[in-house]
Amino acid sequence: MEADNSNISKAEEFKRSANEAFNAHRFTQAIELYTQAIELNDKNAVYYANRAFAHLRLEEYGSAIQDATRAIEVDPKYSKGYYRRGAAHLAMGKFKEALKDFQQVKKMCPNDTDASKKLKECEKAVMKLKFEEAIAVPEHQRRPIADSIDFHSIDVEPQYSGARIDGDVVTLDFVKKMMDDFKNQKCLHKRYAFQIVLQTREMLKALPSLVDINVPDGKHFTVCGDVHGQYYDLLNIFELNGLPSEENPYLFNGDFVDRGSFSVEVILTLFAFKCMCPSGMYLARGNHESKNMNKIYGFEGEVRSKLNETFVELFSEVFCCLPLAHLINEKIFIVHGGLFSVDGVKLSDIRAIDRFCEPPEEGLMCELLWSDPQPLPGRGPSKRGVGLSFGADVTKRFLQDNNLDLVVRSHEVKDEGYEIDHDGKLITVFSAPNYCDQMGNKGAFIKFEAPALKPNIVTFSAVPHPDVKPMAYANNFLRLFS
């Protein structure tokens, strides 16, 4: 009995320390401390619900759902278990499952105004989803919206003083003026925005799903991770490392948009560089270059606000043209998420993926965009609820099977902007410092110089930006949880 009481009081100490870590935004540490509390007392639903909340903050929605479900199993009357699980379902776009959880919260806490507000938003989201499903045109009958746009016919008003494209060629002078206008929170004329996005679409459509990049001896190549709409940090990367050009080429490895509230500025800048110098700017698809994510995490709302409805559909079409992976000098494999649920995947299998669609919920394309490394060998369930976790042995076998040296991926915020795992054979790079204005992390990019291709990692801190909060354009219900 005394031992039991001692464990319970130690567990409470761990919980208090975990709460402090959580309040200081040290979410990984908070998870470790809640785990220690659970190991001493696994009959306390609060520990699971709190750990679920920390997982939510780290976007580990699969783990959050598991913990919230465990909290409900331990104490079916604990409303926060349903509340946390509903929040995780919402974040994954699983509105119907979220609705069930918030209905349960409302039943248990009928006078909770916060729960009522979230239930109402959830009901609205489900109604909207049903309506969209009802009016949706079948895929095979859909004509690309890009085919119906003639940007040449759009007049530019005489009073427009922003950046202009003269004819069909995007020049460096235009891109610099546009970037400067964006820096001063001015808009680009829709005519030129259409021109950039349509020209980029044509270029991306012509590329394979796995793009080969050749870096000649003595030349260098820079790989950046997630930027997530943090435009002013993107400008800082170019300040630190030079503008993209044939002599100074970049790969941006997915998740250009969402969360940060300057996603339109980021995507138009990256696309403009692609138009100006195709071999100076490579772009890979991330899990956030998808309709489902853009609906929830702000890009769709931002595009509507800064451009118009036509652009929402157009960006969706262009995102479906983005390549899924890149290969430097046949030695370094670069992908947004990670590796696969089966062994024996060859580069030829990746080249053969028909990528011109919204990402599926399973299979090679899904795993390339969503998977994460894990410290343990083998494979495990994804902490995100999509894709999987893979160990060092999986990385090693993939590299051996394809005669490669290194995997570079992004997809996860890291305190130092990068992390080296799997016996040095896998590097995560993340280029959005102080992610969402609250994580306190550094950003990083990697420079490779041929022929050695040794990774030279450069880290940097966040720079100030205008007072527009992250998620400013996100779905209303998601802002309720931010």
- DSSP 8-state symbol, 403: T
**Bridging pattern class, strands 406-409 and 332-335:** parallel
What pLDDT is attached to residue 134? Answer: 78
> What six digits make up the tokens of 460?
């940097």
CA 393 – CA 399 distance, rounded (Å): 10
> What was the pLDDT predicted at 479?
61
Backbone phi and psi for residue 364, each to the nearest 5 degrees, phi listed first: -60, -45
Average pLDDT on 95-113 reads: 90
Q: Is the pLDDT of residue 244 over 60?
A: yes
The letter for the amino acid at 440 is: G
The average pLDDT across 352-363 equals 96
Active-site amino acid positions:
288
**Are the beta carbons of 464 and 444 closer than 8 angstroms?**
no
How big is the chain, counted in residues? 482
Structure confidence at residue 470 (pLDDT): 93
What average pLDDT does this structure show over 445-449?
98
Res 113 pLDDT > 90: no
CB 91 within 8 A of CB 59: yes
pLDDT tens digits, 380-420: 999 999 999 999 999 999 999 999 999 999 999 999 999 99
pLDDT value for 140: 67
- Give me 115's structure tokens: 């729960």
Give the amino acid at 328.
I
Give the residue-averaged pLDDT of 372-379: 97
Q: Tokens representing 456?
A: 């030279």
Is 474 strand, coil or helix? Answer: coil
pLDDT at 224 (0 to 100): 99
Do 160 and 189 touch, CB atoms closer than 8 A? yes
Q: pLDDT tens digit string along 134-188?
A: 777 676 677 899 999 999 999 999 999 999 999 999 999 999 999 999 999 999 9
Fold of 2-135: 1.25.40
What is the reported pLDDT for 369?
Answer: 98
> Which CATH architecture group holds 146-481?
4-Layer Sandwich (3.60)
Q: The tokens of 117 are what? A: 């507000």
Question: Rounded CA gap, 102 and 85, in Å?
Answer: 9
Mean pLDDT, rounded, for 339-365: 97
Give the pLDDT confidence of 52-89 residue by residue, as tens digits: 999 999 999 999 999 999 999 999 999 999 999 999 99
Question: How do strand 443-449 and strand 220-224 relate by DSSP bridges?
Answer: antiparallel
Using CB atoms within 10 Å of the CB of residue 376, give its burial: 0 to 12 exposed, 13 to 18 middle, 19+ buried.
exposed
Give the pLDDT mean for 213-236. 98
Domains of the chain, by residue range, sit at 2-135, 146-481
Q: Which strands sit side by side in the sheet containing 372-373, from one edge to the other? A: 372-373, 388-390, 379-381
pLDDT at 482: 54
Mean confidence (pLDDT) of the chain: 94
Confidence at residue 119, expressed as pLDDT on a 0 to 100 scale: 83
108-117, 136-145, 299-308, 375-384: least confidently modelled range = 136-145
Sheet with 418-421, edge to edge strand ranges: 210-213, 325-328, 332-335, 406-409, 426-429, 418-421
Structure tokens at 413: 């915020």
Confidence of residue 1 (pLDDT cuts 50, 70, 90): very low
CA distances from 253 to 26, 119, 244 (A): 26, 36, 15
